Every structure is written in structure tokens, then in C-alpha cells.
């Protein structure tokens, strides 16, 4: 599991490079570039990305999460994972008795 934001970004980039660019690095993109607009990922690729996130980060992704703001760039994917993990941690926190 990624411990820092940079580790998280690197895991996502590694997945994208290995699964969508076949390790070629043929398409150059920044953390903020739209992976769809750059032609790196398509609708089927989004489903692969969702599977990757769920398996590797233990996150349940709901239908309402499947929006470009969450899954369209390296930064948006990393932010989405961080938010979901934080929300799940908050939901699973033990109740404090006073």
C-alpha cells in the first residue's frame, strides 16, 4: 500500500503504463492531463482502473463515484483514493464513549 502521495502517484502511473501503454511510454502525459483526452484510456480502461483501485486499495467504488472528476487524471485518481480511504477510516472509527 502506498505510504506517501508520491508513492500513490507512482503506483497509478505504473498501472497505466503497464496496462494501457504496454510499458512503451509512447504517450507522454502529466499528472493533470486527461487520460481519456490523451487517448491513454477508454471506457473499458476506466473499468480496469476501477478494478485496480478496488483490489489494491480495498476501496468500494459506487456508481456515483464513476465521474471524470474522480478518474480522469493521475492527480484526480490519487485524490479520489485518498478521499475514499479517509472516508472509510472515518466510518470505521470506533465510537468514543464519554
pLDDT digits (tens, 9 = 90+) for 25-43: 677 899 999 999 999 999 9
Number of domains in the chain: 1
Range in 18-32, 37-51, 84-98 with the lowest mean pLDDT: 84-98
**Is 97 a member of any domain?**
no
CATH of the domain at 49: 1.10.1200.10
Which residues in 1-98 belong to E strands, given as ranges? none
Average pLDDT, the chain: 87
**Is 67 a member of any domain?**
yes
**Is 96 a member of any domain?**
no
Q: Is 63 exposed, middle or buried (0-12, 13-18, 19+ CB in 10 A)?
A: exposed
**Is 50 a member of any domain?**
yes
Range of the domain at 10: 5-88
The larger pLDDT score, comparing residue 89 to residue 67, is at: 67
Rg value, the chain, Cα: 15
Range in 11-15, 44-48, 93-97 with the lowest mean pLDDT: 93-97
SS3 47: helix
**Is 46 a member of any domain?**
yes
Instruction: Kindly tell me if the per-residue pLDDT of 67 is higher than 50.
Output: yes
Are 53 and 45 in contact by the 8 Å Cβ rule? The answer is no
**Is 60 a member of any domain?**
yes
The pTM of this model reads 0.83
Are 68 and 77 in contact by the 8 Å Cβ rule? The answer is no
Amino acid at each position: 500500500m502506498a505510504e506517501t502521495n508520491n508513492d500513490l502517484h507512482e503506483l497509478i502511473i505504473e498501472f497505466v503504463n503497464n496496462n494501457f501503454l504496454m510499458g512503451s511510454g509512447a504517450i507522454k502525459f502529466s499528472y493533470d492531463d486527461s487520460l481519456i483526452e490523451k487517448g491513454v484510456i477508454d471506457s473499458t480502461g476506466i473499468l480496469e482502473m476501477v478494478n485496480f483501485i478496488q483490489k489494491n486499495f480495498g476501496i468500494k467504488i459506487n456508481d456515483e463515484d464513476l465521474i471524470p472528476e474522480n478518474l480522469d487524471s493521475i492527480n484526480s485518481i490519487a485524490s479520489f483514493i485518498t478521499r475514499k480511504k479517509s472516508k472509510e477510516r472515518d466510518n470505521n472509527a470506533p465510537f468514543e464513549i464519554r
